[in-house]
Structure 1
Amino acid sequence: MPELSPPWYSVVNIDLFHRVAKQTILHPIVPWFIPLAYRAQAFQYHHPPLYFSAAYAFIITLIWVLQWINRYLAFGPPRTFDWTEEVVLITGGASGLGLLVAEVYGMRGVTVAVLDKNCGSDGDELEARNVYFYKCDVGDIAQVEAAKRRVEEELGTVTVLINNAAVVHGKPLLQLSSGDVEDSFRTNIIAHYNTLRLFLPGMIKAGRGSVVTISSVLATLPAKGCSLYAPTKAATTALHHALTAELAEYPFIKTLLVTPGQMTTPLFNGVKTPSFFWAPVLEPVDVAKEVIAAIDEGKGGEIAMPLFSQWAAVFWILPSSARKALRKLSGIDTAMEGFRGGQKKDE
C-alpha cells in the first residue's frame, strides 16, 4: 500500500503564520504600498484610510529600525567572513545538525574539521569535499589538544568554532547512573571549556573569529525526564553570556547562541512534542540555514527557534500557580515518556 502524504494541516503552525506576517504586514516596506495605493486613487492626506495606513506603515518601519539599532548596539558591527580564509570546526558533526552545517560549508569550498568520537577512521574526508573527520572525545582535554595540533598542522587556524556535541540520557533522576552524569557533563559542558580554551587564542591572534554555542530551549523550560540534559544546557547558555562579556574587548570575535526546540534528529527519538501548533518540531536543515546565514554575515547574537522559544523566559515571571497550570496544559512533562533516543553526538 503506498505511503500516504501527511495531511495539509500538519504543517500549519504558529511559526508558519509568523513567517508569512514577517514578509507581509510586518515587513518594513510592504505596508507602505497601502497608503501609496490610496494616494493613487486620489485619496487626500486627511482621509482616514490614507493616514491610518500611513501611520501603521510608519510604526512598523520604526520598530524595524529600532530593532536594527538594538542589535547593532548589543552585538556591534558584523565581522567580514571570507570563506576562502576560514577554517570551521564542528564538534559532534557526524550526523544531524552538525553534519548538515559541515556538508554545506564543505560543498562551498570552506575547510571544515569535525571532531567526533563516533566517526570512522581518523582524518577521513567526508563525501562533501573539504570536510575532514578527527576521531576525538571532546570531553577529554588530552584528545582535544591532540586534535588541535593535527587540525592546525593540516588545515590551518580555526576561525569558526561550533560547539554542537551533546548526549541525552532521558531518565528520571533516581534512575541515572554515575556514568550517565559524568558522560553528560563531559560532552555537554566540559567539552565547551576544552575547545574554547584551546581555539580562542588562535582566533584572537588571527584577528577574526566566530563562536557558536548550540544550547536548547530546555535550558529555560526544563521538562520532566530532562533533569540531567536541561541543567547541562543551562550551563552552556550561562557560559555563552559570560564569554560574550569577556570577549567584548575583541570586537572581531562574534558569539552566537542557538536555542532550538525539538528537532527531527536521533537525539530525542520517540519524544512527542507537546503541541504541533505552538511548538512544532524543527527540521535540522531549517536550523542549519539560520546558523550558516548568521556566520556568513559575520553576526553575533541569538537564534531561537521555533517562535515560542523566543518567549520562553517570560514563563518565569508568571505566578507559580500559573506556571504549574501551563506545564499541565502544555504537556511538557509527558513529552519524554516515549523517549527512545540514545547517546547521540549532535544537538
Structure 2
Amino acid sequence: MPPPYNTPPQRDSWFAPLSVDLIVKVFKTTFFHPFIAWIVPLCFRAQNMFWDAPPMLVSIAWASMITLSWIAGAINDRLAFGLPREVDLSEEVIVITGGASGLGLLIAEVYGMRGATVAVLDVEEMENGEARGVTYYKCDVTDKDQLARVAAEIERDLGTPTVLINNAAVVIGKPLLSLTFPEIEKSISTNLLSQFYTLKTFLPALTRSEVGGTVVTVSSVIGTVGAANLTDYAAAKAGISALHRSLAAELRQSHPQIRTVLVTAGQLSTPLFYGVQTPNRFLAPVVEPVDVAKEVIAAIDNGRNAEIGMPLYARWINWYTVLPVGLQAIVRKVAGVDTAMQNFVGRTGGRRENKEVLIQGF
C-alpha cells in the first residue's frame, strides 16, 4: 500500500548543500573581513613593494573601504539597538514556550547545560523526557488561567524570569475555504493571542528583575509574503512581527533595561515540515534549527537587541513589498511559494485532512 504522503526530496548530489548563504558566509570571513583585507597590503610590503605601486594602492583602498563599512555597521547597530545589558547565566531564568521539541527544545538544552535555569512550557511532553537544568511545565499558552498558575510556580520554584522566548505556534495548512471556524480560532489564538497572554503574564517579572531581561519573538517570512494554504498562519505571523516592533518601541521608553530580539525565519529542517517543497535550494535554502538557535543564543548572551533573519533572503524580505505588483507576481511564481504547501503533511505523516501539527519557528 503506498504511503499516504509524499516523502520530501533527499539531497543526493554533491552540490546540493551549496547556497547563496554559504557563499556570503565564506566571503564575509575572507574578502569582506577587515583583518583579511589588511593582510594583502602587508604581504605586498613584505615583498618590498613600494607604497605607491598600483597593487599596493588598490589593496589599501579595498581594505580601507571594508574597514569603514564594518565601522559604519557597528555604529548603525549601536544607534538602532543601543547598549547591551550584562548577562550572567547563573542569574538568568529563561522561559520558553513550545519548548518540548524542535527549536525551542534545542535552545532549552543548550542553556540548561550551560548553567542557566530554564522553564519549558508546552502542551506536549518533552521529546527526550527530561534535560539537565530544564524544568517542564505542562501549559496551554492560549489559556490565561493556566499561564497565571504556571508563572506563579516558576517564580516559586526557579526565581524571577529574565528571558521570555515566544516560540510556540501551530500550523493547520488548509485553504481558507476548507478551514473550520474552530480551526481558525485555534490558529489565531495559538499564533497571535498567546503572545499577548505570555507577555502580559511574564513581562512584569522581567521589568522587576535587577539584571534586566530579554524578550524573543519567533516570527516567519510568511508574515510578510503570505502563501496559499497559510492564510491564518500568515495573518498571525504578520501580527506578532508588528506586535514585537511596537512593544520594542514602548520598552525603549519605559523600560530601557529590557532587550528585544525578533527572529524572522524561513523553512526549518525538521520532520515537522515533511512534504513542504522548498522554493529554491540555492536562493532559499532550508534552515537548520541549530543555526537559528546559535543566533538566538548569541543575541541573548550578548544582552543586545537584535533582528535575526535566516536564511539570507529573510533579511531583505521587506523589500519584496516595494516591488511593482506585477514583478511580485512573477517572483511568487518563480519561487513557487504558493505551491510549497500542496503536499504538506507535517510531523505526524498523516493524511492531508489530519494535518494539524504543533511546530516551532516556521
Match of 1:313 in 2: 318
1:7 aligns with 2:13: yes
Asked if the contact 1:216/1:260 (under 8 Å) is kept, the reply is: yes
Alignment match of 2:161 (pick from 132, 155, 158):
158
Is the Cα–Cα contact under 8 Å of residues 125 and 133 in structure 1 kept in the other structure? Answer: no
Q: Secondary structure at 1:81's aligned position in 2? A: coil
Distance 1:329 1:233 in 2: 23
Percent of aligned positions with the same letter in both sequences? Answer: 50
Structure 2 counterpart of 1:343: 357
What is the rounded CA distance, in whole Å, between the counterparts of 2:56 and 2:343 in structure 1?
Answer: 55
SS of the residue corresponding to residue 10 of structure 1 reads coil
The number of equivalent residue pairs is: 341
SS state at 1:258 partner: strand
C-alpha displacement of 1:318: 1.1
| Distance (whole Å) between structure 2 residues aligned to residue 345 and residue 140 of structure 1 | 18
Specify every segment of 5 or more residues in structure 1 that has no aligned partner in the other structure, as ranges: none
Distance between the aligned counterparts of 2:119 and 2:129, measured in 1? 10
Scaled by the length of structure 1, what TM-score is found? 0.95
Deviation at 1:35, TM superposition (A): 1.1
* 1:345 Cα deviation from its structure 2 partner: 4.2
The CA deviation string for residues 75-131 of structure 1, in whole angstroms up to 9 with x for no partner, is: 1111111100000000000100000000111111211001111126xxx99532110
Separation in structure 1 between the aligned mates of residue 299 and residue 252 of structure 2, nearest angstrom: 18
Looking at structure 1, the residues matched to 301 and 56 of structure 2 have their Cα atoms a distance apart, in angstroms, of 40
| Alignment of 1:34 onto 2:40 | yes
Go from structure 1 to structure 2 and tell me whether the alpha carbon gap of 1:321 and 1:345 turns closer, same or farther (over 3 Å shift): closer
Distance in structure 1 (CA, Å) of the matches to 2:128 and 2:265: 28
Alpha-carbon distance between aligned partners in 2 of 1:26 and 1:47, rounded to the nearest angstrom? 22
Give 1:346 deviation, angstroms. Answer: 2.1
Q: Which residue of 2 aligns with 1:322?
A: 327
In structure 2, distance between residues paired with 1:5 and 1:213: 31
What is the RMSD of the two structures over their aligned residues, measured on CA atoms? Answer: 1.6
- Is it true that 1:19 corresponds to 2:25 in the alignment? yes
- Which residue identity does 2:196 align to in structure 1? Y
Distance 1:75 1:5 in 2: 39
Q: What's the counterpart of residue 349 of structure 2?
A: none
C-alpha separation between the residues in 1 aligned to 2:357 and 2:105? Answer: 16
Does the residue aligned with 2:316 lie in a helix, a strand or coil?
A: helix
TM-score, length basis structure 2: 0.91
Runs of 4+ in structure 1 over 6 Å off:
none
Say whether 1:175 aligns with 2:181: no
Equivalent in 248, 251, 267 of residue 252 of structure 2 = 248
1:53 equivalent in alignment to 2:59: yes
SS where residue 337 of structure 1 aligns? coil
Task: Kindly state the Cα deviation for residue 5 of structure 1 after the two structures are TM-superposed.
Answer: 7.9
**Residue identity in the other structure for 1:310:** R
The amino acid across from 2:218 in the alignment is I
State the one-letter code of the partner of 1:200.
L
